[in-house]
């Protein structure tokens, strides 16, 4: 009986608090445009956003109609959705931090760069910049891309009879293997069933994260603790951390600090040197390696998959990539090992990647929270603790920012003037993705090999992706293409 009363009391407090917040923000934010909605105080914009396949386009249409700053009511909270590049830039004159929803990642990522804030984040960012800014380490990573890429070509060759190939799951498995080898220096295939379990549990954790963002009741921490998702998350985190701990202890037992495996260093090899100097604890390193795995696995797979999908419908662009590859290597499949120098010469391929990231940004939204009252002009003042959503997808699809925004035009990044803070695939400001260079090198290496080995064509069945925003951009029906050996 007591527990029932307690639950009802907590629910009542939650409703009262939510009502106060709604009243405060709707009054305080009355100058911020709000798209009309029926029964606004009860349902807000929930109905308009109910179908996930409509959310992305609804957001773009609203930004075009009402402007780049919009008030969105999804009870029990009010959020400001921003697509205007000038307003986004304005925020870096004022104080904002990551939104509260990033706390969902903390059980797995701890105090890694994604979830950390303040001075602790600044110190860690400065330290890790030494790793991701190291040309020597990047060259070691490229050796992994090269070796893994060759194995991946063999796997793709086994798929050429599939005329309706969903490329996403294959690409996710590939990028996870690459990340595991570059982050920890181990091949998942060499770990047998333990490697398979690691992949499965990483995927389980990501599915739980998606559910927490999608299901309103799971966003409330104390309710989440009673769900099956919570138990799945805890089991999976335990296994993933155990996998890391085993590898960490193996590497720590090395006698020679500079020892490499097959002439290559992994991120963990470098971080262990900080551990031996008492700069980072084992837990600090585990948080950063888990963050690296999470941040680079799904996003890179999604970007590569959408790049192949776009190229399937643009054979002329494929041919331009081929011409560049022949110019760099002398011929297709020359057998020459790809180097950092080769990747720097792939200027047109880089334009293709940038245009893919614009049209299909792997991270469609990011959240921030105002920590000081901020005047953004036009009579709009945003109060302390207000949640913001920066719509990266919206920024990339506004005619104000890009001419013919729905068309795939790689040359725009060579000829057009790109407005500041209108192109944000890696985030923006001081918290821009630290792995940007790593991701670009991996995508260049992979696409170079795929286009040189295969002609990419549309699926033989009629297909149109059903785009939805999850933690990353997703397609409910996959991404279907077909491959033909060159």
Higher pLDDT, 222 or 156: 156
Indicate the range of 134-138, 187-191, 419-423 predicted with least confidence: 187-191
Q: Per-residue confidence at 76, pLDDT binned at 50, 70, 90? A: low
pLDDT at 381 over 60: yes
- Whether 16 maps to a domain, the answer reads no
CB contact set of 96 (below 8 Å; sequence gap of 6+):
368, 369, 370, 371, 374, 388
- Whether 23 maps to a domain, the answer reads no
> What mean pLDDT do residues 124-139 have?
86
- Whether 410 maps to a domain, the answer reads yes
> What mean pLDDT do residues 95-117 have?
78
Looking at the structure of the chain, the number of domains it has is: 1
Indicate the range of 150-164, 223-237, 251-265 predicted with least confidence: 251-265
pLDDT at 132 over 80: yes
Residue 463's pLDDT is 87
Contact 202, 160 (CB under 8 A): no
- Whether 110 maps to a domain, the answer reads yes
Q: Containing domain of residue 446, as a range?
A: 83-485
Residue 5's pLDDT is 61
Helix (H) or strand (E) holding 215: none
Query: pLDDT, tens digit, for every residue of 14-34?
Result: 666 666 666 666 677 777 877
- Whether 57 maps to a domain, the answer reads no
The structure tokens listed for 132 are 């991701």
Q: Per-residue confidence at 360, pLDDT binned at 50, 70, 90? A: very high
Q: Per-residue confidence at 228, pLDDT binned at 50, 70, 90? A: very high
pTM attached to this predicted model: 0.90
Residue 41's pLDDT is 53
> What mean pLDDT do residues 433-447 have?
94
Q: Per-residue confidence at 299, pLDDT binned at 50, 70, 90? A: very high
Residue 31's pLDDT is 78
Residue 7's pLDDT is 57
Contact 45, 37 (CB under 8 A): yes
Cα atoms found within 13 Å of the Cα of residue 61, Cβ hemisphere only: 8
pLDDT at 75 over 80: no
Residue 359's pLDDT is 97
> What mean pLDDT do residues 94-98 have?
57
Higher pLDDT, 297 or 93: 297
> What mean pLDDT do residues 230-246 have?
92
Contact 306, 425 (CB under 8 A): no
The beta-carbon contacts of 19-26 under 8 Å, at least 24 apart in sequence, are: 19/76, 21/76, 21/77, 21/78, 22/73, 22/75, 22/76, 22/77, 22/78, 24/383, 25/78, 25/383, 25/386, 26/71, 26/73, 26/78
Compute and round to an integer the Cα radius of gyration of the chain: 23
Q: What is the CATH number of the domain that holds 475?
A: 1.10.630.10
Q: Per-residue confidence at 261, pLDDT binned at 50, 70, 90? A: very low
Considering the chain, what is the average pLDDT of its residues? 84
**Residues above pLDDT 90, as percent of the chain:** 38
Residue 255's pLDDT is 43
167-184 vs 135-157: helix crossing angle, rounded to 10: 150
């Amino acid at each position: 009986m007591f527990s029932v009363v307690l639950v009802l009391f907590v629910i009542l407090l939650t409703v009262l608090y939510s009502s106060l917040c709604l009243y405060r923000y709707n009054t305080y934010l009355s100058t911020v445009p709000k798209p009309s909605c029926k029964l606004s105080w009860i349902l807000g914009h929930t109905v308009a956003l109910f179908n996930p396949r409509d959310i992305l386009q609804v957001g773009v249409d609203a930004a075009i109609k009402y402007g780049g700053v919009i008030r969105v009511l999804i009870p029990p909270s009010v959020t400001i959705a921003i697509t205007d590049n000038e307003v986004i830039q304005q925020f870096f004159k004022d104080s904002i931090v990551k939104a509260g929803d990033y706390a969902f990642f903390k059980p797995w990522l701890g105090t890694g760069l994604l979830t950390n804030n303040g001075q602790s984040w600044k110190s860690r960012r400065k330290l890790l910049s030494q790793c991701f800014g190291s040309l020597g380490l990047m060259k070691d990573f490229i050796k992994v891309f090269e070796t893994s890429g060759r194995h991946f070509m063999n796997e793709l060759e086994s798929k050429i009879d599939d005329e309706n190939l969903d490329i996403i799951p294959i690409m996710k498995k590939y990028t996870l293997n690459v990340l595991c080898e570059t982050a920890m220096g181990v091949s998942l295939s060499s770990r047998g069933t333990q490697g398979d379990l690691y992949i499965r549990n990483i995927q389980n954790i990501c599915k739980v994260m998606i559910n927490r963002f999608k299901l309103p009741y799971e966003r409330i921490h104390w309710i989440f603790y009673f769900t099956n998702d919570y138990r799945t998350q805890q089991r999976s985190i335990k296994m993933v951390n155990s996998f890391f701990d085993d590898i960490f202890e193996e590497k720590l037992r090395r006698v020679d600090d500079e020892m490499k495996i097959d002439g290559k260093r992994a991120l963990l090899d470098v971080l262990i040197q900080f551990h031996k100097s008492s700069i980072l604890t084992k837990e600090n390193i585990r948080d950063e390696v888990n963050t690296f795995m999470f941040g680079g696995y799904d996003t890179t797979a999604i970007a590569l998959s959408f790049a192949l999908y776009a190229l399937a419908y643009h054979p002329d662009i494929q041919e331009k990539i081929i011409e560049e590859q022949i110019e760099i290597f002398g011929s297709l499949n020359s057998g020459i090992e790809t180097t950092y120098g080769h990747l720097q010469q792939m200027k047109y391929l880089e334009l293709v990647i940038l245009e893919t990231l614009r049209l299909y940004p792997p991270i469609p939204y990011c959240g921030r929270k105002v920590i000081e009252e901020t005047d953004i002009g036009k009579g709009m003042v945003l109060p302390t603790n207000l949640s913001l959503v920066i719509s990266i997808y919206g920024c990339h699809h506004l005619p104000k920012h890009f001419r013919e925004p729905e068309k795939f035009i790689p040359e725009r990044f060579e000829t057009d003037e790109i407005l500041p803070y209108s192109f944000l695939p890696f985030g923006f400001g001081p918290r821009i993705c630290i792995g940007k260079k790593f991701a670009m090198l991996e995508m260049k290496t992979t696409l170079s090999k795929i286009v040189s080995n295969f002609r990419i064509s549309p699926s033989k069945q009629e297909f149109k992706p059903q785009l939805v925003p999850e933690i990353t951009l997703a397609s409910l029906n996959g991404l279907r293409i077909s491959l033909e050996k060159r």
